[in-house]
Amino acid sequence: MAKTGILSAAAIALMYLEISLPLFPAFLKFDFSEIPALLAAFSMGPFAGIMVELVKNIGHLPASHTLMVGELANFIMGSLFVGTAGLIYRYKKTRGGAMISMAAGTVALTVSGALINYFITIPFYITVMGLSMDGIVAATQAAGNTMVNDLSSLICWVFVPFNIFKGLVVSVIVGLIYKKLSPLLHR
């Protein structure tokens, strides 16, 4: 429980350190908060990774500008990412198994991100928060991504590449640091 708490605190801190990326609208922020959750999933199992995701998103609620919908989406997508990776790694604890598990987790993150944003978050922002699809498209085009002109192209050219990028970056970092941190995480 203490390790989960420490990793959750690290995830909360990392979630607050979010950055904008080129070609992505300003409302879409990149952070490294899945790293502690993936470390938890690898060292203590998928449930521990999901618990880190839960605590991280609850800890981010005071800064929410999305009426908690962004945190809910982040929790679901992050849980599918670390849960999938942690479950596969649990049965194949090799370097190759870690790579397969993180690739599968990235696929889960990307597919869930596309579906959640298409069916839940973007429609929520439009109907409840008063944003318009034209405004979202304009923000995306202002960031330099001119391939977006509707919801489908937004998913295809913004959310899919963003989540692939996030999954790859987190996977590479965890791949580089997990063995070094493993003795601490398994105490």
**96: domain CATH number?**
1.10.1760.20
| Per-residue model confidence as pLDDT tens digits over 4-41 | 999 999 999 999 999 999 999 988 999 999 999 999 99
Cα dist from 28 to 107, 143, 162, whole Å: 19, 11, 9
> Using CA atoms, how far apart are residues 163 and 105, in angstroms rounded to an integer?
11
Of the pLDDT bands very low, low, confident and very high (cuts 50, 70, 90), residue 74 is very high
Of the pLDDT bands very low, low, confident and very high (cuts 50, 70, 90), residue 67 is confident
Task: Measure the CA dihedral 123/115/74/2, to 10°.
Answer: 150
Tell me, what's the pLDDT at 1? Answer: 80
The token duo for 26 is: 């300003």
Number of domains in the chain: 1
pTM listed for this prediction? 0.93
For residue 27, count other CB atoms closer than 10 A to its CB: 15
Domain enclosing residue 39, as ranges: 2-18+25-185
Cα dist from 32 to 93, 164, 172, whole Å: 23, 14, 12
> Using CA atoms, how far apart are residues 154 and 161, in angstroms rounded to an integer?
10
